Structure formats: C-alpha cells, structure tokens
C-alpha cells in the first residue's frame, strides 16, 4: 500500500502502525532495529528533529519502503553520475 506523505510528522503514524501490525512492542522493535526505545517512541510521536539516517534505519527494520516521486524531467539529471568523474 502506497501512502503519500503530506507533512514530515505523518511518518510517525506509519511507523507506529507498521510496528503494531507486527504485534511487537516499542522496546522489542527498538532492540532488534538497533535504536533506543526512547528514539523509536519519539519517531512514532511525530518528532521531526530526528536524524534522517536513523529514521531510515527504523523504516528498514519495520519493512517500510520509501519511494520518492519526482517529475519525469529529473531522471536525466539522475543519470548524470557524480562518481563517473574519474574518482574510482
């Protein structure tokens, strides 16, 4: 099921719902994901100040995938790779 995010805090609801769908508690989920229970609780309550990388870790741990939706013309610039600049 694909859910568009219309504001940053909304991801908290998704995280909580995903965890509950798996019938696991915050502390157990946090433990297996590798973050603190405090942190997971913070995310679920919609705190926007959390670090993107840690949030992504949580999403991965809960089987939530992120898809970015961009205008089609952006694709051409995506293929302009930064690592094709002789930095191998």
HSE toward the beta carbon, residue 88, CA cutoff 13 A: 2
Q: Which stretch binds DNA (CB under 7 A): 1-9, 35-43, 61-69, 71-79?
A: 35-43
Q: State yes or no: residue 78 binds a second copy (CB under 8 A).
A: yes
Q: Alpha carbon 50 to chain centroid distance?
A: 11
Pick what 58 binds: DNA, a second copy, none; C-beta below 5 to 8 Å, kind-dependent. Answer: none
User: What's the DSSP call for residue 5?
Assistant: -
Q: Which residues contact 4 (CB under 8 A, 6 or more apart)?
A: 69
**8, 24, 27, 78, 84 from 71: Cα distances, Å:** 20, 38, 39, 12, 24
Least distance between a second copy and beta carbon 27 (Å)? 18
Pick what 2 binds: a second copy, DNA, none; C-beta below 5 to 8 Å, kind-dependent. Answer: a second copy
Least distance between DNA and beta carbon 22 (Å)? 11
Pick what 32 binds: DNA, a second copy, none; C-beta below 5 to 8 Å, kind-dependent. Answer: none
């Amino acid at each position: 099921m694909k859910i568009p995010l219309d504001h940053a805090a909304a991801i908290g609801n998704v995280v909580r719902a995903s965890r509950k769908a798996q019938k696991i508690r915050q502390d157990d989920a946090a433990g297996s994901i590798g973050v603190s229970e405090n942190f997971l609780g913070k995310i679920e309550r919609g705190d926007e100040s959390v670090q993107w990388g840690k949030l992504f870790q949580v999403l991965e741990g809960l089987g939530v995938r992120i898809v970015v939706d961009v205008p089609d013309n952006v694709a051409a610039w995506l293929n302009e790779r930064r690592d094709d600049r002789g930095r191998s």
